[in-house]
Amino acid sequence: MNPFRRSPFVLFAAMLVYVFLYLPIFVLVLYSFNASRTNVVFTGFISQTGSQVVMDGSNVVQSPCGAFHWYCELSKNKDVTNAAKNTLTIAVVATIISTIVGTMAALALQRYNFKLRPFSQLSLYIPIVIPEIVMGIGILTLFSQLFGWINNALNLEGASRLTLGLGTVIVSHIAFMIPFVTLVVQARLQGFDKAYEEAAMDLGANEWTTFQRVTFPMILPGVLSGALLAFTLSLDDFVITFFTNGPGSTTLPIYVYGLLRRIITPQVNALSTVWIALVFFTVLLLQWIQNREQK
């Protein structure tokens, strides 16, 4: 069998898979340039330019930004800006903390034997296996009971009372992201050769120097992969964020859900397109960093 021979069936199957995966994204991007304000039927591209937006029935006939009319509306919407800021803040902070904790947990589970190791290893799969709505309700109940007890114990009132907000969303994201990071880093540690660490310590390096100069650079691709997975999970999480967010902590998925409850407009598609582009370039950047580290 020739391994370089291209089977027409395999090529056709691969094309079907790519069409199945990326056709919805292509349609979403296409409809973000729709001239109709009701995004039910594609009525054509916005091509006219002018100083004002003039409506003819349900169609936009003039736009100061041409085909990018809906993207201009997004740039002027303060709610979108605040939601994007909250989403990125939650994702960055939760990714940093979960990556640090997950990497330490992976090192501990991979290298040390202790009585609770089987239980600790099994408990990593629980947040991954259980439905997100169950975890969201559980975290909401925990915060409600905890904040209620603290507020009553300390007699906190008014603005000083503990309530749901940006902090609770960050904590909840860290809780369900740590298992993903731990399992990814653990997979990287499976093929790690301890002889490198032993050689470094034989040459006089202490444990911290060995980890900093030898261990961490070798497992860095796994750490970056875990961080990327955690970052993307935080960006598009809706269920857990829906249960744990409060006033002033609306994220983009929650904001888009609020728009969809009224009517689907090209503005929703434009917002989704911008978010897809952001995630895509983030993946490309981290992939480039991983390739440099491996070289």
In total, how many domains does the chain have? Answer: 1
Rounded CA separation 124/143 (Å)? 21
Q: Pick the closest to residue 266 from 25, 8, 38, 114 (CA basis).
A: 38
Confidence of residue 68 (pLDDT cuts 50, 70, 90): low
- Read off the CATH number of the domain in which 98 is found: 1.10.3720.10
For residue 201, give every residue at least 6 positions away whose Cβ sits within 8 Å of its Cβ, in sequence order, or none: 207, 210
pLDDT score, position 116: 81
Q: Residue 184: which residues within 8 A CB-CB, separation 6 or more? A: 102, 222, 225, 226, 229
Domain assignment present for 62: no
Whether 49 has a pLDDT exceeding 60, the answer reads no
Residue 215 falls within a domain, yes or no? yes
Give the integer Cα–Cα distance in Å for 193 and 144.
47
Reported residue count of the chain is 295
Residue 58 pLDDT level (bands cut at 50, 70, 90): very low
Note whether residue 169 is domain-resident: yes
- Domain range for 233 is 77-262
267-278: average pLDDT: 78
Residue with tokens 């298992």: 179
Least confident range from 124-133, 164-173, 280-289: namely 280-289
Residue 72 contacts residue 65 (beta carbons within 8 Å): yes
The proportion of the chain whose per-residue pLDDT surpasses 70, expressed as a percent, equals 79
Contact between 244 and 168 under an 8 Å Cβ cutoff? The reply is yes
Question: Is the model's pLDDT at 5 over the cut of 80?
Answer: no
What mean pLDDT is reported for the chain?
Answer: 78
Q: Is residue 292 part of a domain?
A: no
User: Torsions phi, psi of 45, nearest 5?
Assistant: -85, 150
Does residue 125 sit within a domain?
yes
Residue 7 domain flag: no
22 within domain boundaries: no
Task: Report yes or no on 50 lying in a domain.
Answer: no
Expressed in percent and rounded to 5, the helix, strand and coil fractions of the chain are 70, 5, 25
pLDDT classification of 77: cutoffs 50, 70, 90: low
Residue 170's alpha-carbon distances to 159, 237, 240, 279, in angstroms, are 20, 12, 11, 19
Neighbour count for residue 57 (Cβ, 10 Å):
8
pLDDT of 57 reads: 43
